[in-house]
């Protein structure tokens, strides 16, 4: 089976023979790919949507993996049993704040988790900030462009490391390996912030100054890597 570019990038980041749960699995194709290619030793897929899970079950049946993938409906980490033996969490395709809520709501479930692989739709800075505060460091990042949208993939591993606002905003790994997609993504962000800044009334001076500082920061970063 062939995965989309976005899902294939996620699959490439899963440690060999990891014990994985894909939260918000949608159609379940990522989990199916990982099991079909014998890349994981245990696979759970979950979603809060019954319709999504029904589609995932049909796909699992199609690939004859009904006894190799556990399917659970529920909200976030609440679907994890303490005896599930899971060490890796994947969450992709959800908003950044939703991902943060999932991972911070029941933090006791994170005790056995060594790897967290995320692909937030937005609020990437906040995701980096919150997850690193939970006791994880950023080991890898990647930008993937698909259907004219640039996705940010972040791999967190258990361990502590402190990051500056600058590194959390741009991504420490992305800064070291700045690509054309990086420039494209942050040029788009720059244009958007400039537009917002022009629309702010004069009475909101401090908000405007904060945005102007961000504009300068992005401009300097982009110009320093040309």
Tell me the per-residue pLDDT of 127-143, one tens digit each, with 9 for 90 and over.
999 999 999 999 999 99
At residue 1, the pLDDT reads 79
Domain boundaries, the chain: 5-162, 182-224
DSSP lists the bridge partners of residue 70 as 44
- Cα 73 to Cα 96: distance, rounded to the nearest angstrom: 21
Task: Pinpoint the alpha helices (H) of the chain.
Answer: 5-12, 29-36, 50-62, 96-105, 124-133, 165-170, 172-176, 180-199, 205-224
Neighbours of 7 (CB within 10 A): 21
> Are 87 and 114 in contact, with CB atoms under 8 Å apart?
yes
Work out the mean pLDDT of the chain and round it to a whole number. 93
pLDDT reading at 83 higher than 80 = no
Sign for the CA dihedral angle at 177, 14, 35, 97 comes to negative
At residue 10, the pLDDT reads 97
Q: What is the band of 9 on the pLDDT scale with cuts at 50, 70, 90? A: very high
Opening angle at CA 170, ends 164 and 171, nearest 5: 75
Task: For tokens 């319709």, name the residue.
Answer: 51
At residue 103, the pLDDT reads 94
Q: Could you tell me how far CA 12 lies from the centroid of its own chain?
A: 14
Q: Could you tell me how far CA 180 lies from the centroid of its own chain?
A: 20
Two structure tokens written together for 57: 């079950």
**Rounded percentage of the chain residues whose pLDDT exceeds 70:** 98
> Are 31 and 45 in contact, with CB atoms under 8 Å apart?
yes
**What would the 3-class secondary structure string for 160-208 be?**
CCCCCHHHHHHCHHHHHCCCHHHHHHHHHHHHHHHHHHHHCCCCCHHHH
Task: For tokens 């659970």, name the residue.
Answer: 72
Q: Superfamily assignment of 5-162 in CATH? A: Vaccinia Virus protein VP39 (3.40.50.150)
Among 45, 41, 35, which residue's Cα sits nearest to residue 70? 45
Q: What does pTM read for this prediction?
A: 0.94
The mean per-residue pLDDT over the stretch 215-226 comes to 88
Burial of 34 (0-12, 13-18, 19+ CB in 10 A): buried
């Amino acid at each position: 089976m062939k995965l989309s570019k976005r899902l294939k990038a996620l699959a490439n980041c899963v440690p060999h023979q990891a014990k994985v749960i894909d939260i918000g699995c949608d159609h379940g194709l990522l989990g199916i790919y990982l099991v079909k290619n014998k890349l994981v030793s245990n696979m759970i897929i979950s979603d809060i949507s019954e319709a999504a899970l029904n589609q995932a079950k049909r796909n699992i049946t199609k690939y004859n993996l009904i006894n190799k993938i556990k399917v659970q409906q529920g909200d976030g980490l609440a679907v994890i049993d303490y005896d599930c033996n899971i060490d890796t969490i994947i969450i992709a395709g959800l908003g950044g704040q939703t991902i943060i809520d999932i991972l911070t709501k029941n933090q006791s479930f994170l005790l056995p988790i060594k790897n967290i692989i995320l692909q937030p739709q937005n609020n990437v800075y906040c995701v980096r900030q919150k997850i690193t505060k939970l006791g994880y460091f950023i080991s890898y990042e990647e930008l993937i462009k698909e259907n004219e949208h640039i996705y940010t993939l972040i791999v967190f591993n258990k361990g502590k490391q402190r990051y500056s606002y600058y590194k959390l905003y741009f991504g420490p790994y992305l800064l070291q390996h700045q690509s054309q997609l990086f420039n494209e993504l942050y040029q788009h962000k720059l244009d958007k912030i400039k537009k917002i800044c022009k629309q702010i009334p004069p009475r909101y001076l401090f908000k405007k100054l904060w945005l102007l500082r961000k504009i300068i920061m992005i401009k300097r970063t982009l110009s320093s890597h040309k």
